[in-house]
């Protein structure tokens, strides 16, 4: 049973999840004993695909199937599904894995339905049992793990971001001439009416992207209001980090939705995650399992966040944050103004 | 305008992990004290549908659920919020359906009982299985386009709809022609309304249209599970949190500052 890693690059270059996707695909191929393949679908000219194809080969794909068409550039998920429904069978693979970014998460189940394949999402681990794959994924908001077994000849699996590591071994040397196979898009894949974007509003571009932040100061319902988030922002500034939020804080309107961290928000992996007034619901923790160190400030000693944190402080955050901001600013010799303003 | 909202009854997703346990025999969670509730994002989907009906000035909102008799409660919840009518698919002996079985049943009921529809709404994922699959699969079965991560829908020009959707770092508005599947995520603008007491009481008197699953035209292969849960377990957790000690807030904060600096990540 060969395994194909499906890389979606409608804008031309693949997203940041390619290494992790290949990491998962390597394990899946090992579990089945099959060959590892890759398929890249890109909104570029065919000639622009060479670097991506080479990268996928280095990451372990024995053969890279490439389909390019500039018309994919402003296609929606529906067009990608239509194209993949033709292309995936051409690779001969019976297992397809996709990165679980918003696009991949949308394409996976639809593609599975089209192919009559078993579908599994949010995969965090691959287990091989007698040449068969068990796809392990969190369920019940992360309170439990389910091992899912396909009951169809084909499977489409979507990988949870920021869980798998890049493959340990890389293929070296020149890429063999026959390693890259160009495919054409199936006829009609790009036709049909589709949703059209008529307006785009970027969220506040202040600070850095949560996904890239090395430090995140995150607030929950316990922060109590927008002023509280100002105090969090000052601490984040001193630490050179970004501000995040729980769902409760987003729903209250204290932080924009794109700052939500958790299962249905951003999945982050900072070196330091400071949770302020966050109870630590499993759905929130699902977004921070990749953090190296978690610090929790909460006035309730029983809050579940203390079971996920490494350092804990039981206190009303209002008493803690100005002091903490000041002392860290002093210790780090930075953000003096920001600290004084608090 | 006819708006269908699919709603699922789930074990309260907010229950504490401390109260969560799995029955080793059935490989299902033990319900225990946790209540059964309407799945979080489905409740938001009801809210988004109701707001669209209000913006359009008229229309019907139908709530649809696949589930046993107890699922009547989530349909009544939707009606208490002011959905107009409710249909429940009685699964009979189906057991715990997977995403394909669920999507096939819902699609068949929509086609048989609720068509034509302009929008079929779903939550972005269920509060128990967290799969995020059923809405997408229903769209495939019905051959409809999908807009995901929607936070609001309003009528546009020429009978089209304008769907406001969350992107990675902001919001975009897409224009789409009905019929369409829309999956909904949370935002400050779509926090579900709390029904009035009189509406809760009225909802209890409203009829619920029950359809038997075996009577629905579902293809034979989609009556089977395509992906089964072979094992279910609670991951081991042996985490120890170091609590900051000290006689005063200042002392505890100082301890925290030292501990944070000791991590050597700043
Ligand atoms: C399918 C699904 C997906 C979800 N996805 C997400 C997600 O992606 N992200 C997410 O965050 N949630 C998500 N949730 C919601 C999640 O279950 C919780 O409801 C949410 O995380 C709670 O947010 P909170 O911790 O801020 O609020 P609460 O649970 O209300 O906790 C507030 C905390 O603040 C503390 N506090 C109060 N006042 C103070 C004070 N003055 N000083 C210090 N501490 C104080 C309290 O002790 C309490 O622990 C999801 C839920 C479902 C069902």
Element spanning A202, H or E: strand A196-202
Q: Which two tokens stand for residue A88?
A: 């995936």
Q: Is the CB of A246 under 6 A from ligand 1?
A: yes
Statement: residue A342 has pLDDT above 60: no
Task: Specify the DSSP element, H or E, that contains A82.
Answer: helix A77-91
CA distance B232 to A146: 4
Residue of A139, A249, A284, A304 to test ligand 1 pocket, by largest number of atoms within 8 Å of CB: A284
Instruction: Read off the tokens for A310.
Output: 């490494």
Give the closest residue to B120 by CA, choosing from B98, B148, B93, B80: B148
Lowest mean pLDDT among A114-118, A214-218, B9-13, B27-31: B27-31
Nearest CA in chain B to A254: B188
What is the four-CA torsion angle of B173, B175, B178, B183, rounded to 10 degrees? -30
List chain A residues with CB under 8 Å of B243.
301, 306, 312-314
CA-proximal residue: ligand 1, atom 50 (nearest): A283
* Residue A249 confidence (pLDDT) above 70: yes
User: A14: Cβ below 6 Å to ligand 1?
Assistant: no
Shortest distance between the Cα of A53 and any Cα of chain B, in A, equals 26
Cβ contact, residue pair B187, A149, below 8 Å: no
pLDDT for residue B225 = 96
Q: What percent of chain B has pLDDT over 90?
A: 89
Query: pLDDT tens digit string along B165-179?
Result: 999 878 999 999 999
Confidence of residue B208 (pLDDT cuts 50, 70, 90): very high
Identify the residue with better confidence: A209 or B47. B47
pLDDT on residue B209 = 98
Lowest mean pLDDT: which of A75-79, B220-224, B250-254?
A75-79
Q: How far apart are CA B72 and CA B87, in angstroms?
A: 9
Q: What is the pTM of this model?
A: 0.95
CB contact under 8 A, B229 and A257: no
* From A222, A282, A286, mutation site for ligand 1 pocket: most ligand atoms within 8 A of C-beta: A222
Q: How confident is the model at residue B24, as a pLDDT? A: 84
Q: Searching chain B, which residue's CA lies closest to the CA of residue A197?
A: B174
B110: left (phi over 0), alpha (psi -120 to 50) or beta: alpha
Average pLDDT (A280-294) is 95
Query: Are the beta carbons of A37 and A93 closer than 8 angstroms?
Result: yes
Q: What is the pLDDT of residues B40-96, one digit of tens each?
A: 999 999 999 999 999 999 999 999 999 999 999 999 999 999 999 999 999 998 888
* Spacing, Cα A219 to ligand 1 middle (Å): 9
Residue pLDDT, tens place only, B11-24: 999 998 888 999 98
Structure confidence at residue A9 as a pLDDT band (50, 70, 90) = very high
**Confidence tier at A180 by pLDDT (50, 70, 90):** very high
**Nearest-by-Cβ selection for B230 from A119, A148, A214:** A148
Side-chain-side CA neighbours of residue A133 (13 Å): 36
pLDDT of residue A339: 46
Round to whole Å and give the CA distance between A206 and A228: 17
């Amino acid at each position: 049973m060969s395994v194909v890693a499906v890389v979606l690059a409608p804008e031309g270059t693949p997203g940041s999840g390619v290494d992790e996707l290949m990491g998962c695909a390597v394990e899946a191929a090992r579990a089945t004993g099959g060959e590892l393949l890759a398929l890249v679908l890109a909104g570029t000219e065919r000639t622009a695909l060479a670097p991506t194809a080479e990268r996928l080969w280095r990451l372990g794909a024995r053969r890279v199937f490439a389909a390019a068409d500039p018309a994919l550039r402003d296609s929606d998920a529906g067009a990608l599904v239509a194209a993949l429904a033709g292309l995936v069978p051409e690779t001969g693979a019976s297992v397809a894995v996709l990165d679980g970014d918003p696009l991949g998460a949308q394409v996976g189940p639809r593609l599975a339905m089209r192919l009559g394949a078993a579908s599994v999402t949010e995969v965090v681990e691959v287990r091989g049992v007698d040449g068969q794959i068990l796809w392990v994924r969190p369920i019940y908001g992360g309170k439990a793990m389910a091992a899912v077994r396909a009951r169809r000849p084909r499977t489409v699996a979507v990988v949870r971001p920021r869980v798998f590591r890049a493959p340990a071994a890389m293929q070296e040397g020149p890429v063999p001439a026959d390693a890259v196979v160009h495919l054409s898009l199936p006829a009609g894949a790009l036709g049909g009416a589709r949703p059209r974007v008529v307006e785009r509003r970027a969220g506040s571009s202040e600070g850095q992207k949560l996904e890239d932040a090395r430090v995140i100061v995150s607030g929950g319902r316990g922060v109590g209001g927008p002023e509280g988030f100002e105090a969090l922002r000052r601490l984040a500034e001193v630490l050179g980090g970004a501000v995040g939020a729980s769902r409760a804080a987003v729903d209250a309107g204290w932080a924009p939705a794109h700052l939500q961290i958790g299962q249905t928000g951003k999945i982050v992996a900072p070196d330091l995650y400071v949770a302020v007034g966050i109870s630590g619901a499993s759905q929130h923790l699902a977004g921070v399992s990749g953090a190296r160190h978690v610090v929790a400030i909460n006035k309730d000693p029983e809050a579940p966040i203390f079971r996920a944190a490494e350092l804990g402080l039981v206190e009303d955050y209002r008493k803690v944050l100005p002091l903490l901001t000041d002392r860290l600013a002093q210790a780090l010799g930075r953000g003096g103004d920001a600290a004084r303003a608090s | 305008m006819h708006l269908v909202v699919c709603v699922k009854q789930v074990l309260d997703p907010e229950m504490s992990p401390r109260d969560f346990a799995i029955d080793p025999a059935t490989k299902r969670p033990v319900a225990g004290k946790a209540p059964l509730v309407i799945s979080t994002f489905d409740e938001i989907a009801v809210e988004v549908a109701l707001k669209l009906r209000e913006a359009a000035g008229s229309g019907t909102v139908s709530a649809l659920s696949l589930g046993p008799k107890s699922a009547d409660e989530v349909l009544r919840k939707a009606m208490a919020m002011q959905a107009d009518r409710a249909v429940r698919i009685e699964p009979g002996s189906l057991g715990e359906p997977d995403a394909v079985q669920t999507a096939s049943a819902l699609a068949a009921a929509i086609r048989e009982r609720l068509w034509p529809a302009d929008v079929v709404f779903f939550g972005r994922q269920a509060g128990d299985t967290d799969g995020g699959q059923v809405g997408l699969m229903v769209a495939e079965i019905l051959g409809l386009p999908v807009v995901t991560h929607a936070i609001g829908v309003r009528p546009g020009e020429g009978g089209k709809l304008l769907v406001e959707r969350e992107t990675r770092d902001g919001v975009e508005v897409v224009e789409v022609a009905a019929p369409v599947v829309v999956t909904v995520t949370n935002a400050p603008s779509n926090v579900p309304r709390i029904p009035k007491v009189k509406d809760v009481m009225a909802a209890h008197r409203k009829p619920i249209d029950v359809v038997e699953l075996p009577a629905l035209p579902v293809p034979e292969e989609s009556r089977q599970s395509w992906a089964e849960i072979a094992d279910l377990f609670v991951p081991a957790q042996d985490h120890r949190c170091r609590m900051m000690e000290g006689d005063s807030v200042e002392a505890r904060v100082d301890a925290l500052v030292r501990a944070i600096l000791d991590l050597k990540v700043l």
